[in-house]
Every structure is written in structure tokens, then in C-alpha cells.
Amino acid sequence: GENVEQHPSTLSVQEGDSAVIKCTYSDSASNYFPWYKQELGKRPQLIIDIRSNVGEKKDQRIAVTLNKTAKHFSLHITETQPEDSAVYFCAAGKTSYDKVIFGPGTSLSVIP
């Protein structure tokens, strides 16, 4: 089955700097890669996703890249703000209407 790894497990950045979180997956049949943000004590929320027919997607300060050949995908947050502090999970699945397998998470702290 699918196995998703995520690095780093913790990340601290100064406000205004960029943050990058990287994930790898094992199943070449995976074509859907969502990213979720979970603030302390709250439920995970989808922040962006990418499908295998594109290599990059951007939404304001957030961007995701996908290298299907290498089975790598990454989340980039620019101009970080304290409210970006949360745990971020990457995930991988065959389609957006199938199950997804989550990575172990990255705890991001943005220092004011």
C-alpha cells in the first residue's frame, strides 16, 4: 500500500521568511496530493491540493510542486505569518474521491 514520508518533522522560521515542507510517496498509482493544516485543538482543513497532470499550483502565499518521476511533492509558504503556525500534513491517494494516506506531519512555528 501507499506510504508517505514527510520532512522536516518540526520547522521554525522567522516571520516573513519562507517555509518548505517535503514529502515522498511510494505508490506510483497515486495521482492526488492534498495538503492539510491542523491548528492546535482544531480539525484538519484542506489548504491546497495538486493532481498529477500538473507540476505546480499556487494560491496566494502557498504553492505546491509535484515531481511524479521522483515521487516527491512539496509545500512552499512565502511571507510566513504567526497564524501560519500549525501542523501541516501531506497526503497521497489515487484520486480525489478515494482514500488518502497521510504523512506524519510537520509542526511549523512562525516566530514574530
Pick from 31, 35, 103, 110 the residue near other proteins by CB under 8 A.
Answer: 103
Check residue 13 for interaction with other proteins (CB under 8 A). Answer: no
CB of 36 to other proteins, least distance (A): 8
Partner residues linked to 38 by β-bridges: 87
Q: Which of 62, 71, 101, 109 binds other proteins (CB under 8 A)?
A: 101
* Site for other proteins contains 105 (CB under 8 A): yes
Cβ-based nearer residue to other proteins, 78 or 102 = 102
The number of beta carbons lying within 10 Å of the beta carbon of residue 51 is 13
Segment contacting other proteins by CB under 8 A, of 58-66, 67-75, 77-85, 89-97: 89-97
Residues 54, 63: contact at Cβ < 8 Å?
Answer: no
Read out DSSP for 16-44? TS-EEEEEEE--TT--EEEEEEE-TTS--
Size of the chain in residues: 112
Complex with other proteins: residue 23 or 79, whichever CB lies closer = 23
Are residues 6 and 91 in contact, defined by beta-carbon separation less than 8 angstroms?
A: no
Binding site for other proteins (CB under 8 A): 1, 34, 42-46, 89, 95-97, 99-105, 107
